[in-house]
Amino acid sequence: MTPHRFSLRVYYEDTDLAGIVYYANYLKFIERARSEWVASLGVDQMALKAREGIVFAVRRVEADFLRPARFGDDLVVETLLHSLGGARILLDQSVLRGAERLFQASVTLVCLTDDGHAARLPPDLRARLSGPLH
């Protein structure tokens, strides 16, 4: 499978006093990339919530900070589907500067109803997520 790629630039607001990306901002970077991945598959998350009453929520993140990104860096976030469960999506995400891996995470998402209970992924959504576009 080919990973979804999302490009971004590190701005001053993303960094600490030393010009290094503040660790929590990597979570923001990978969140943006996940949203773009889902949108690239033709999934409108607002329509999904309105139509099916379901949303995605992060259940678990296991992250490794490998090298620092710095102010002005051009980065790419790669998102790759690892597995799909009944109500769970497991993704591998990496932040790269060129060929250099700076950050990597294993992210578990769950599908939830409006009242916070687990919900099975609808068949059409499962087909989009597991399709050839990612």
| Active-site annotation, residues | 16
Task: Classify residue 91 as exposed, middle or buried by CB count within 10 Å of its CB (0-12, 13-18, 19+).
Answer: buried
CA–CA gap between residue 105 and residue 62 (Å, rounded): 5
- Cβ-proximal residues to 97 (8 Å cutoff; 6+ apart), any chain: 67, 69, 73, 74, 75, 76
